[in-house]
Amino acid sequence: MAKVLILTGDAAESLEVMYPYQRLLEEGYEVHIAAPSKRKLQFVVHDFVDGFDTYTEKLGYTWPADLAFADVNPDDYVALIIPGGRAPEYIRNDADVQRIVRHFFELDKPVADLCHGPLVLAAAGVLEGRTTAAYPALEPDVRAAGATFRDSEAVIDGVVVSGRAWPDHPAWMREFMRVLRDKAPVS
Amino acid sequence: MAKVLILTGDAAESLEVMYPYQRLLEEGYEVHIAAPSKRKLQFVVHDFVDGFDTYTEKLGYTWPADLAFADVNPDDYVALIIPGGRAPEYIRNDADVQRIVRHFFELDKPVADLCHGPLVLAAAGVLEGRTTAAYPALEPDVRAAGATFRDSEAVIDGVVVSGRAWPDHPAWMREFMRVLRDKAPVS
Amino acid sequence: MAKVLILTGDAAESLEVMYPYQRLLEEGYEVHIAAPSKRKLQFVVHDFVDGFDTYTEKLGYTWPADLAFADVNPDDYVALIIPGGRAPEYIRNDADVQRIVRHFFELDKPVADLCHGPLVLAAAGVLEGRTTAAYPALEPDVRAAGATFRDSEAVIDGVVVSGRAWPDHPAWMREFMRVLRDKAPVS
Amino acid sequence: MAKVLILTGDAAESLEVMYPYQRLLEEGYEVHIAAPSKRKLQFVVHDFVDGFDTYTEKLGYTWPADLAFADVNPDDYVALIIPGGRAPEYIRNDADVQRIVRHFFELDKPVADLCHGPLVLAAAGVLEGRTTAAYPALEPDVRAAGATFRDSEAVIDGVVVSGRAWPDHPAWMREFMRVLRDKAPVS
Amino acid sequence: MAKVLILTGDAAESLEVMYPYQRLLEEGYEVHIAAPSKRKLQFVVHDFVDGFDTYTEKLGYTWPADLAFADVNPDDYVALIIPGGRAPEYIRNDADVQRIVRHFFELDKPVADLCHGPLVLAAAGVLEGRTTAAYPALEPDVRAAGATFRDSEAVIDGVVVSGRAWPDHPAWMREFMRVLRDKAPVS
Amino acid sequence: MAKVLILTGDAAESLEVMYPYQRLLEEGYEVHIAAPSKRKLQFVVHDFVDGFDTYTEKLGYTWPADLAFADVNPDDYVALIIPGGRAPEYIRNDADVQRIVRHFFELDKPVADLCHGPLVLAAAGVLEGRTTAAYPALEPDVRAAGATFRDSEAVIDGVVVSGRAWPDHPAWMREFMRVLRDKAPVS
């Protein structure tokens, strides 16, 4: 069975991990969650309330990581997913994360990223020259990485599909599934 | 475009609303969330921690209901979804909820329910004689309703697909999609 | 000194455990709290806020269980209390809980239950043919168990006294005390 | 029907308000809760966890006040109760609270106070020369008020009954009931 | 380098510990936090919201204590700080805390206290005859200790500087710095 | 009296706003907090717990903004402070924030920034070619902005003083005070 890899960690956004995780399992892929270490992760809920100028944060779901970044052999995986929340801010500095990300871009394997996920691509040096969605407040980071920001629910740039945040899941995953079925079918 | 209806309310389980909601949007359906009244709903996070004998509850995501139960014309919808959490406990007593549920069973339209969702089917009088999954602690409620409880990630009984809780989403939705594509394709 | 038994567990409603617990100690009974295992329990606070369609849940008091269900010899106790909250949903499936409950009904010993407590009586098979109060949203469960639901602050059916939720404590416990003093006085 | 008055406010300890409130209603008294203003009050949960050197605080129950301190005619009441938590710290400075408290002491009507409640008696100038329980950390406040601190679950000094905190409810209320039935029976 | 001592513990007010702690480090002092035992402390956030009649409490910052009260040799320190929150209520009963406090008063070394901090001075018997600010609701405690309460952002009584609560930090610390630079300069 | 400006908003880190705010008031400056709009702001507490791979977030202090970004005339201020937390992520995209920031750099007025604060300088285009501290996980953002990251408690680059996070307040503010007293004394 084809395997898909998710790169995340504590403080990742709950829905942004769980939706693609469960969606790809539903599709028939085997899905592995990699994190700084192999243990139970604590995700958060990012949402909006009236009268607060950015997203709120509450504690969300917990879920076990399947393996540590250091133990990831990217050859084992046909595609890569990088959810958002506050995990991308720190996992992007992990040398293994950068090694893994570069593998997928070098081999032109499908990649889906969302919200703060593009920060990881930027840190790995693979965002330059590309077009991407992202959490809109990150537009300066996208530009600083030499990429073009598009404020859209699903941006397709080759085999890379990006979105702005969890409300974009439907369009974002619909497009990623098209890429995935074409490039890396379940079997 | 074919429309799907979700019956839920405050205290519904966040993932159990959002996964099927976003999944069916991804598939191309129009999805409407009905609740006791048309306003922003507050969902909860049900999860497990070591050393606590049942699920924990934290505040989760908020999301607007599209219409009130009283305003639902079930003829408009090709399928019905009833997520779990604590919403089923009280929405099952709403006469409009019972009216809506019976419509789908009388016309043999696809129905997906999960976790505490079967409580709504029981209250509407449509669970008798059927086989269903449910949150396992609800086995006595399933039996009291004259139905057979099966401890499985996806139970298919005609056009009704049930599961135990949000970790079953992948299998549960995979089976429901099969039923839905067969009985009520997007277009 | 006469002993009274409380069957409860994690996620029980704080006041619904503590009020009868402290009230019977005040009266002079020895009171034992039984739970799935003998350890500190975490109760919850169920309350209501404007604009939320069911009760809210917050973390409440902690209190040690005196013994595990498996270690309960019901002969030791003159009366039984089953508080509400979310504990009844899962403790009702414990074979020892069912054994204990049946003992009290078979010997016609006083029983007080409140809110979600009647779910335990139903699962033990002793609610059929009786009249009971309960948390009003549970009316379908009462009926499914073959019992009659009464929306009242204190329902007396033989030596069984039931109420709807913690605001009913005064009337519920007043009636239970009358039964208790008559059938099982402190000494 | 004889009436009992409770003096409390926001941040009062949940159980310390609700146990005597419901207990006296159970006994047949009419009970009025007075607070700085007539509105819904927010109580708190004070509890203990390992590794924290004092009580923890969480949000607890809400309950409406029946009347404002300013509107209390103490002649209407046969007894007074002052629960603990953080309410006594500030309500003691209310001139009406002091007026009310002095009335009960001048007329030798039964008074029950618990935990931080004795702070209110001290501020009203009625604790001097008496013996009282209190939350043990308040021993210096008891002494500063010219009173004697006793580390006991129920201290009876004339018609005044005091305790240390909510775990003392059974003994505290048992003694207070004896005083009350003697001095101010329900009817 | 001159050393300053802070006496505090779990449930101290976050800002009231951290502002003077960091401020004195900024100034060049070595600062030691003493607590009931040498471990990580959990502070709280006391703040105000509309419609709640006293301060609210939330969990705040954590920070390690440097030493236990029992291990404090007050000769090592040129000045003493006692922040507020709920720590003063219980640390004032510690014999070592009282020993330490008396040392600073006997030797006329600079002392800064704020909010509930004066409770510690009162319990150590050093507040009598002095003039002090404090959290305003504590006025009766100040008077009971034989001291004069002044409702001011910074009260200077000899080498003792007191304030009402964390909003007074600027004035309170400005005055304390004047005293400190005069009596106990950094080097 | 010389005025200092703070640029921040909801979700700013509590201590990182309050320490410099109160510190500069203590020093004698008039300090204005500017935010997206003039209303009460809700800050957060960022802290660390064992077993969580990044900072945790809890609700912290509230404090009123003095004016909206749009109403800031930077000529009125002698210095600028940009605290961290999650506010810099979104306020950096405000055109008025960028206008204000550029004013201080163009006129070589003192600037202090900390933690996520450098993101605002980067977005305003003034970080290029400079050396700065920042929350260490932001090193890629600093480099992407054309600046040099230094992992130090206080980095002084001309009249700009930066730090990593609130534990650096003592060194960071000590250095900033030196700059400020030199370039923009209180009077």
Q: How far is F63 from chain A (nearest CA, A)?
A: 13
Are the C-beta atoms of D174 and D156 separated by less than 8 Å? no
Euclidean distance between CA atoms D69 and E116, whole angstroms: 26
Query: What confidence tier does C101 reach under pLDDT thresholds 50, 70, 90?
Result: very high
Cβ-Cβ contacts under 8 Å, A138 against chain F: 89
Q: What is the pLDDT of residue B187?
A: 83
Are the C-beta atoms of F180 and F161 separated by less than 8 Å? no
* Interface-testing mutation among B1, B4, B23, with chain A (most A C-beta atoms within 10 A): B23
Are the C-beta atoms of A83 and A17 separated by less than 8 Å? yes
Read off the tokens for B82: 């009833």
Closest chain B residue to C56 measured between Cα atoms? Answer: B11
Name the 3-class secondary structure at E120: helix
Residue labelled with tokens 């920060």: A119
Distances (CA, A) of A24 to A29, A33, A73, F101: 5, 12, 19, 45
Q: How far is D139 from chain E (nearest CA, A)?
A: 8
Average pLDDT over residues E70-95: 98
- Name the maximum alpha-carbon separation found in chain F: 49
Mean pLDDT of chain C: 98
Asked if E103 is an active-site residue, the reply is no
Average pLDDT over residues B52-70: 98
Q: What is the pLDDT of residue A76?
A: 98
**pLDDT tens digits along C25-55:** 999 999 999 999 999 999 999 999 999 999 9
Query: What confidence tier does C187 reach under pLDDT thresholds 50, 70, 90?
Result: confident
**pLDDT tens digits along E129-141:** 999 999 999 999 9
CB contact under 8 A, C14 and D19: no
**pLDDT tens digits along A34-91:** 999 999 999 999 999 999 999 999 999 999 999 999 999 999 999 999 999 999 999 9
Closest CA to A165 of A178, A151, A177, A175: A151
Closest chain B residue to A154 measured between Cα atoms? Answer: B26
Q: Which residues lie below 8 Å from residue E106, measured CB to CB, with a gap of 6+?
A: none
CB contact under 8 A, E92 and D42: no
Euclidean distance between CA atoms E13 and E35, whole angstroms: 14
Closest CA to F58 of A19, E47, A83, B86: E47
Query: Looking at residue C85, what DSSP letter applies?
Result: B
Size of interface E-F (CB pairs under 8 A): 67
CB contact under 8 A, C89 and B137: yes
Cβ-Cβ contacts under 8 Å, D31 against chain C: none
* Interface-testing mutation among B1, B4, B13, B14, with chain A (most A C-beta atoms within 10 A): B14
Euclidean distance between CA atoms C65 and C32, whole angstroms: 8
CB contact under 8 A, E141 and D144: yes
Q: How far is A187 from chain F (nearest CA, A)?
A: 36
pLDDT in tens, chain D (187 residues): 899 999 999 999 999 999 999 999 999 999 999 999 999 999 999 999 999 999 999 999 999 999 999 999 999 999 999 999 999 999 999 999 999 999 999 999 999 999 999 999 999 999 999 999 999 999 999 999 999 999 999 999 999 999 999 999 999 999 999 999 999 999 8
Please name the member of E26, E61, E173 whose beta carbon is closest to the beta carbon of F47.
E61
**pLDDT tens digits along E44-65:** 999 999 999 999 999 999 999 9
C155 phi and psi, to 5 degrees? -110, 125
Under an 8 Å CB criterion, which residues of F touch A? 9-11, 35-36, 39, 42, 44, 51-57, 86-87, 89-90, 92-93, 119, 122-123, 137-141, 144-145
Residues in chain D: 187
Q: Which residues lie below 8 Å from residue D13, measured CB to CB, with a gap of 6+?
A: D43, D44, D45, D46, D60, D83, D84, D85, D86, D115, D165, D166
Q: How far is C144 from chain D (nearest CA, A)?
A: 32
Cβ-Cβ contacts under 8 Å, D19 against chain C: 18-19, 22
Chains A and F touch (3+ CB pairs under 8 A): yes
Average pLDDT over residues B42-66: 97
Residues in chain B: 187
Q: How far is A15 from chain B (nearest CA, A)?
A: 7
Q: What is the pLDDT of residue D124?
A: 98
Closest CA to E22 of F177, F152, F168: F168
**pLDDT tens digits along F61-107:** 999 999 999 999 999 999 999 999 999 999 999 999 999 999 999 99
pLDDT at A187 over 90: no
Q: What is the pLDDT of residue A1?
A: 84
Residues in chain F: 187
Please name the member of F54, F137, F145 whose beta carbon is closest to the beta carbon of A144.
F145
What is the separation of C-alpha E60 from the centre of its chain, rounded to a whole number of angstroms? 18
Which residue type occupies D17? V
Quote the ipTM score.
0.96
Cβ-Cβ contacts under 8 Å, D140 against chain E: 92-93, 119, 122-123
Name the 3-class secondary structure at F169: helix
Name the 3-class secondary structure at B18: helix
CB contact under 8 A, B26 and A62: no
Per DSSP, helices labelled H in chain E are: 14-27, 87-91, 95-106, 118-123, 139-144, 169-183
Name the 3-class secondary structure at A48: coil
Q: Tell me how crowded residue C129 is: count the other CB atoms within 10 A of its CB.
A: 10
Mean pLDDT of chain B: 98
Please name the member of C53, C54, C92 whose beta carbon is closest to the beta carbon of B140.
C92
Q: Which residues lie below 8 Å from residue F18, measured CB to CB, with a gap of 6+?
A: E15, E19, E166, F43, F61, F63
Torsion sign, CA atoms A141, A145, A148, A154: negative
pLDDT at C63 over 90: yes
Q: What is the pLDDT of residue B62?
A: 98
Catalytic machinery residues of A: 116
Q: What is the pLDDT of residue F107?
A: 98
Query: What confidence tier does C61 reach under pLDDT thresholds 50, 70, 90?
Result: very high
Are the C-beta atoms of B5 and B36 separated by less than 8 Å? no
Beta strands in A79-124 (DSSP E): 79-82, 111-114
Are the C-beta atoms of C168 and C154 separated by less than 8 Å? yes
CB contact under 8 A, D53 and E11: yes
Distances (CA, A) of E127 to A148, D145, E122, E131, E134: 67, 15, 5, 8, 12
Q: What is the pLDDT of residue C1?
A: 84
CB contact under 8 A, F93 and A123: no
CB contact under 8 A, E54 and D145: no
What is the separation of C-alpha C142 from the centre of its chain, rounded to a whole number of angstroms? 15
Q: What is the pLDDT of residue F187?
A: 83
Q: Which of F32, F46, F103, F116 is catalytic?
A: F116
Are the C-beta atoms of C110 and C80 separated by less than 8 Å? yes
Closest chain F residue to A124 measured between Cα atoms? Answer: F140
Which residue type occupies B156? I
Read off the tokens for E91: 């640390």
Residue labelled with tokens 């300090």: F31
Cβ-Cβ contacts under 8 Å, F18 against chain E: 15, 19, 166
Distances (CA, A) of A34 to A41, A91, D63, F52, F73: 10, 11, 47, 15, 49
Are the C-beta atoms of C165 and C120 separated by less than 8 Å? no
Q: How far is A96 from chain B (nearest CA, A)?
A: 29
Q: Tell me how crowded residue A174 is: count the other CB atoms within 10 A of its CB.
A: 16
Read off the tokens for D180: 């009350």
Which residue type occupies C3? K
Q: Which residues lie below 8 Å from residue F167, measured CB to CB, with a gap of 6+?
A: F153
**pLDDT tens digits along E8-58:** 999 999 999 999 999 999 999 999 999 999 999 999 999 999 999 999 999
Q: What is the pLDDT of residue C97?
A: 98
Chains F and E touch (3+ CB pairs under 8 A): yes
Query: Looking at residue F74, what DSSP letter applies?
Result: G
Read off the tokens for E38: 């040498």
Q: Which of E32, E46, E103, E116 is catalytic?
A: E116
Read off the tokens for A32: 């592995």
Euclidean distance between CA atoms A57 and A64, whole angstroms: 21
Q: From the DSSP assignment, how many helices (H) and strands (E) are in chain E? A: 6, 11
Euclidean distance between CA atoms F112 and E70, whole angstroms: 40
CB contact under 8 A, D26 and C60: no
Q: Which residues of F52-83 are buried (b: 16+ CB within 10 A; e: fewer)?
A: ebbbbbbbbbbbebbeebeebebeebbbbbbb
Q: How far is A31 from chain F (nearest CA, A)?
A: 22
Mean pLDDT of chain F: 98
Residue-range domains of chain E with CATH:
3-183 (3.40.50.880)
Rg (CA), chain C: 15
Closest chain F residue to A145 measured between Cα atoms? Answer: F144
Which residue type occupies C166? W
**pLDDT tens digits along B107-146:** 999 999 999 999 999 999 999 999 999 999 999 999 999 9
pLDDT at E187 over 90: no
Which residue type occupies B41? L
Closest chain B residue to C59 measured between Cα atoms? Answer: B57
* Percentage of chain B lying above the pLDDT 90 cut: 99
Closest chain B residue to C128 measured between Cα atoms? Answer: B144
Which residue type occupies E33? I
Name the 3-class secondary structure at C140: helix
F108 phi and psi, to 5 degrees? 55, 40
